[in-house]
């Protein structure tokens, strides 16, 4: 399912025009990204949480060049599905 598919489905079932639905979803995704980029998690009851995880520094091998490289500590975005979501997919 793509963004366009979701926009049509939402527009069809809510009666809200497609342009407004698309604009809302684009802004939603932008807001979630900006929130996590500024270190603030996003909690959506009944769906899940978008959270920031920290990956500690680690050494990795570049096999082709046979060298060791250090991957510095960094943050990654992650999603924790709500229990009801887990149950629905099980």
The residues that touch a copy of itself, with contacts defined as CB under 8 A, are 1-3, 6, 9-10, 13-14, 16, 20-21, 23-25, 27-29, 31-37, 40-48, 50, 52, 74-79, 81, 85-86, 88-90
Residue with Cβ nearer a copy of itself (3 or 58): 3
Q: Which long-range contacts (CB under 8 A, 24 or more apart) does 12-20 make?
A: none
- What whole-number distance in Å separates Cα of residue 6 and Cα of residue 22? 9
Return the number of the residue (46 or 65) whose C-beta is nearest a copy of itself: 46
State in angstroms the smallest separation of the CB of 66 from a copy of itself: 27
Give the whole-angstrom CA distance, residue 74 versus residue 90: 32
Residue 76's φ and ψ, nearest 5 degrees, are -135, 150
Closest CB 40 distance from a copy of itself, rounded Å: 5
Q: Are 88 and 81 in contact (CB under 8 A)?
A: no
Cβ nearer to a copy of itself, comparing 61 with 76: 76
Choice between 23 and 58, CB closer to a copy of itself: 23
Cα–Cα dist 66/62, whole Å: 5
């Amino acid at each position: 399912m793509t963004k366009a598919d979701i926009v049509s489905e939402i527009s069809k079932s809510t009666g809200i025009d497609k342009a407004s639905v698309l604009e809302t979803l684009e802004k939603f995704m932008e807001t979630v990204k900006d929130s996590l980029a500024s270190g603030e998690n996003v909690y959506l009851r009944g769906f899940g949480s978008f959270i920031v995880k920290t990956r500690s520094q680690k050494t990795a091998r570049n096999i082709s060049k046979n060298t060791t490289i250090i991957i510095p500590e960094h943050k990654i975005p992650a999603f924790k599905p709500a229990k009801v979501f887990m149950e629905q997919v099980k």
